[in-house]
Amino acid sequence: MAEQYMMPTCLIEKKCVPCNLKELRPMDEDVAHTLMPQVDKWNLVKESGVLKLRQSWTVKSFTKGLEFFKIVANLAENEGHHPDLHLVNWNNVTIEIWTHACGGLTENDFILAAKIDKLNLLEQIRRNASE
Ligand SMILES: C[C@H](O)[C@H](O)[C@H]1CNC2=NC(N)=NC(=O)C2=N1
Protein backbone atom coordinates (compact mmCIF):
# COMPACT_ATOMS: atom_id res chain seq x y z
CA MET A 1 0.00 0.00 0.00
CA ALA A 2 2.75 2.45 0.94
CA GLU A 3 4.58 2.05 -2.41
CA GLN A 4 1.67 3.64 -4.29
CA TYR A 5 2.28 6.83 -2.33
CA MET A 6 6.01 6.86 -2.99
CA MET A 7 5.57 7.99 -6.61
CA PRO A 8 4.23 11.56 -6.30
CA THR A 9 1.34 11.33 -8.76
CA CYS A 10 -0.62 14.20 -10.29
CA LEU A 11 -3.24 14.54 -7.57
CA ILE A 12 -5.43 17.02 -9.43
CA GLU A 13 -6.30 14.41 -12.06
CA LYS A 14 -7.26 11.75 -9.53
CA LYS A 15 -10.65 11.05 -7.96
CA CYS A 16 -11.28 10.32 -4.28
CA VAL A 17 -12.22 6.71 -3.54
CA PRO A 18 -14.71 5.44 -0.94
CA CYS A 19 -13.06 5.16 2.48
CA ASN A 20 -14.76 1.93 3.42
CA LEU A 21 -11.77 -0.40 2.87
CA LYS A 22 -11.34 -2.13 6.19
CA GLU A 23 -7.57 -2.27 5.75
CA LEU A 24 -7.42 1.50 5.19
CA ARG A 25 -4.39 2.84 7.11
CA PRO A 26 -3.26 6.41 7.67
CA MET A 27 -0.14 7.29 5.70
CA ASP A 28 3.19 7.80 7.44
CA GLU A 29 4.38 11.36 8.00
CA ASP A 30 7.37 10.94 5.65
CA VAL A 31 5.03 9.79 2.89
CA ALA A 32 2.78 12.81 3.54
CA HIS A 33 5.81 15.07 3.09
CA THR A 34 6.42 13.65 -0.41
CA LEU A 35 2.96 14.88 -1.44
CA MET A 36 3.13 18.34 0.18
CA PRO A 37 4.76 20.02 -2.88
CA GLN A 38 1.50 19.36 -4.80
CA VAL A 39 -0.56 21.09 -2.10
CA ASP A 40 1.92 23.85 -1.29
CA LYS A 41 -0.70 26.28 0.10
CA TRP A 42 -1.62 23.75 2.81
CA ASN A 43 0.04 23.08 6.15
CA LEU A 44 0.67 19.57 7.45
CA VAL A 45 -0.36 19.57 11.11
CA LYS A 46 -0.59 16.92 13.79
CA GLU A 47 -3.36 17.14 16.40
CA SER A 48 -3.49 14.54 19.18
CA GLY A 49 -1.45 12.27 16.97
CA VAL A 50 -3.68 12.74 13.91
CA LEU A 51 -2.04 14.19 10.78
CA LYS A 52 -4.22 16.71 8.94
CA LEU A 53 -4.00 19.25 6.11
CA ARG A 54 -4.99 22.79 7.15
CA GLN A 55 -5.40 26.07 5.31
CA SER A 56 -6.96 29.39 6.43
CA TRP A 57 -8.38 32.35 4.55
CA THR A 58 -9.83 35.73 5.56
CA VAL A 59 -13.05 36.58 3.72
CA LYS A 60 -14.88 39.89 3.50
CA SER A 61 -18.00 38.92 5.46
CA PHE A 62 -19.75 36.13 7.30
CA THR A 63 -21.98 35.46 4.29
CA LYS A 64 -18.92 35.31 2.02
CA GLY A 65 -17.62 32.64 4.37
CA LEU A 66 -20.81 30.67 3.86
CA GLU A 67 -20.54 31.10 0.08
CA PHE A 68 -16.98 29.81 0.36
CA PHE A 69 -18.24 26.73 2.21
CA LYS A 70 -20.99 26.12 -0.34
CA ILE A 71 -18.47 25.94 -3.19
CA VAL A 72 -16.23 23.59 -1.19
CA ALA A 73 -19.25 21.50 -0.19
CA ASN A 74 -20.18 20.95 -3.86
CA LEU A 75 -16.66 19.77 -4.62
CA ALA A 76 -16.65 17.49 -1.56
CA GLU A 77 -19.96 15.94 -2.53
CA ASN A 78 -18.63 15.30 -6.04
CA GLU A 79 -15.54 13.65 -4.59
CA GLY A 80 -17.41 11.79 -1.84
CA HIS A 81 -14.73 13.02 0.58
CA HIS A 82 -15.36 15.82 3.05
CA PRO A 83 -13.32 18.50 4.84
CA ASP A 84 -13.87 19.93 8.31
CA LEU A 85 -15.08 23.53 7.84
CA HIS A 86 -14.49 26.26 10.44
CA LEU A 87 -15.84 29.83 10.23
CA VAL A 88 -14.73 31.78 13.30
CA ASN A 89 -14.60 35.40 14.39
CA TRP A 90 -17.11 36.09 11.56
CA ASN A 91 -14.64 36.21 8.65
CA ASN A 92 -11.91 33.68 9.31
CA VAL A 93 -12.26 30.45 7.37
CA THR A 94 -10.19 27.36 8.11
CA ILE A 95 -10.45 24.05 6.29
CA GLU A 96 -8.98 20.87 7.74
CA ILE A 97 -8.82 17.67 5.72
CA TRP A 98 -8.20 14.19 7.05
CA THR A 99 -9.70 10.73 6.59
CA HIS A 100 -11.97 10.05 9.55
CA ALA A 101 -12.38 6.37 8.62
CA CYS A 102 -8.74 5.66 9.50
CA GLY A 103 -7.88 8.57 11.78
CA GLY A 104 -5.20 10.10 9.61
CA LEU A 105 -4.21 11.11 6.09
CA THR A 106 -4.85 9.14 2.90
CA GLU A 107 -4.38 10.11 -0.73
CA ASN A 108 -8.05 11.24 -0.79
CA ASP A 109 -7.15 14.13 1.50
CA PHE A 110 -4.41 15.35 -0.82
CA ILE A 111 -6.66 15.02 -3.88
CA LEU A 112 -9.35 17.10 -2.17
CA ALA A 113 -6.79 19.71 -1.02
CA ALA A 114 -5.35 20.03 -4.54
CA LYS A 115 -8.83 20.44 -6.02
CA ILE A 116 -9.81 23.04 -3.41
CA ASP A 117 -6.79 25.13 -4.40
CA LYS A 118 -7.72 24.78 -8.07
CA LEU A 119 -11.13 26.35 -7.26
CA ASN A 120 -9.36 29.65 -6.58
CA LEU A 121 -12.05 30.35 -4.00
CA LEU A 122 -11.34 33.97 -3.06
CA GLU A 123 -11.50 34.90 -6.74
CA GLN A 124 -14.77 33.00 -7.14
CA ILE A 125 -16.58 34.64 -4.22
CA ARG A 126 -15.22 38.04 -5.27
CA ARG A 127 -16.64 37.42 -8.78
CA ASN A 128 -20.01 36.43 -7.30
CA ALA A 129 -20.14 39.89 -5.69
CA SER A 130 -19.81 41.67 -9.05
CA GLU A 131 -22.51 39.53 -10.68
C1 LIG B 1 -18.18 5.71 1.97
C2 LIG B 1 -17.62 7.11 2.02
O3 LIG B 1 -16.38 7.11 1.34
C4 LIG B 1 -17.35 7.52 3.47
O5 LIG B 1 -18.50 7.61 4.23
C6 LIG B 1 -16.61 8.83 3.46
C7 LIG B 1 -17.42 10.09 3.32
N8 LIG B 1 -16.52 11.24 3.43
C9 LIG B 1 -15.40 11.16 4.20
N10 LIG B 1 -14.64 12.24 4.38
C11 LIG B 1 -13.54 12.19 5.19
N12 LIG B 1 -12.77 13.28 5.34
N13 LIG B 1 -13.23 11.06 5.84
C14 LIG B 1 -13.92 9.93 5.74
O15 LIG B 1 -13.57 8.92 6.37
C16 LIG B 1 -15.05 9.93 4.85
N17 LIG B 1 -15.76 8.85 4.61
CA of 6 to the centre of ligand 1 (A): 23
CA of 19 to the centre of ligand 1 (A): 5
Phi-psi region of 8 (alpha: psi -120 to 50; beta: other; left: phi over 0): beta
Residues, the chain: 131
Ligand 1 atom closest to residue 82's alpha carbon, by position in its atom list: 10
ipTM of the prediction: 0.96
Ligand 1 atom closest to residue 109's alpha carbon, by position in its atom list: 12
Q: pTM for the full model?
A: 0.91
Which residue CA neighbors atom 7 of ligand 1 most closely? 81
CA dihedral 73, 75, 76, 80 (to 10 degrees): 140
- Class of 41-125 in CATH: alpha beta
Q: In this predicted model, what pLDDT tens digit does every residue of 41-73 receive, in sequence order?
A: 999 999 999 999 999 999 999 999 999 999 999
Q: In this predicted model, what pLDDT tens digit does every residue of 100-130 receive, in sequence order?
A: 999 999 999 999 999 999 999 989 998 887 7
